Each structure stands twice: as structure tokens, then as C-alpha cells.
Amino acid sequence: MLMRSDPFQELDRWTQQVFGQRSGGSVTMPMDAYRQRGQYVVAFDLPGVDPASVDLTAERNMLTVRAERKPAVPNDVEWQVAERPYGVFTRQLFLGDALDAEAITADYTNGVLTLHIPVAAQATPRKIEIQAGGAKQLGG
């Protein structure tokens, strides 16, 4: 099972509304997740993020995605409108024991980071064969 772990997401959202996107703190990234056959697929929106700034780590059962988006304009500009979020984006997911954290693959295309997290072999349902015959009768 895949569960997100982001206890401060609502606090971050409120802070961004009150102080604006440029508060310098961590910004969450939108995510979709679904199960497809024997794997989970997780997609994070990271538009305008340099792929070299994306850091993906798995420690025990915690998967952490960290990325940074920097403004693509000189420092000496006079901003008229600044609505696009910049800074550090982070997201953590708890990977249950049924997932194979050692076999995660990642792809970054068109501003979307897509992870493929396979279900562990021991967690996959399997059919158990039933042996017929061979039972001895008691008594004689």
C-alpha cells in the first residue's frame, strides 16, 4: 500500500496564502497515484524544474522527492506580477511492506516525474495447488 506522509501540508498551504508563494519555505508538489497491474505509478508535477535539481531517496519505507525551481530571470528585475512558485518542493510517501523499494524506477519527461513502484513478489497473490488422493483409510 502507498500512503502519503505530509503532516504539514495544510499549514504550508495556509502560509502560502497568507505570505505568498515567495515565503522561501518548502512548497508541495501536486501528485497523482494509481495501481496498475503489479505496480503503483506515481506522477509529480514539476513544471520548469531542472532535472538535475530533482533528488529522489528511499530510506527504509520512506520515499522522499525533493526538487528546486529557480527563477529564470536576472536578479535585478522589477517584478510586476510574481505568481509562479519558486523554491524547494518536497514530498514524502510511506511505502508499505508490500512494495519493492529496491526496484523503483523514475522518469522525468515534460515537467512530470513518474515513478513506477512494483508490488513485492511476496505480497502478490498466488494460487496454491491442492493435492488430490493419497489419504489413507483408518480401520480395517
Task: Report the mean per-residue pLDDT for the chain.
Answer: 81
* 18 in a structural domain: yes
* 47 in a structural domain: yes
* 107 in a structural domain: yes
* 24 in a structural domain: yes
Band (pLDDT 50/70/90 cuts) for residue 11 is low
Q: Residue 21 has what pLDDT?
A: 47
* 37 in a structural domain: yes
Average the pLDDT over 118-133 and give the result.
80
* 90 in a structural domain: yes
d(CA 37, CA 80): 48
CATH classification of the domain holding 97: 2.60.40.790
Number of domains in the chain: 1
Q: Which residues contact 91 (CB under 8 A, 6 or more apart)?
A: 4, 6, 28, 29, 31, 44, 64, 65
* 140 in a structural domain: no
Residues of the domain holding 45 = 2-72+84-123
Phi, psi of 3 (to 5 degrees): -130, 140
Rama region for 62: left / alpha / beta (φ>0; ψ in -120 to 50; rest): beta
Strand arrangement of the beta sheet that strand 87-95 belongs to: 2-4, 87-95, 62-69, 55-59
pTM comes to 0.69
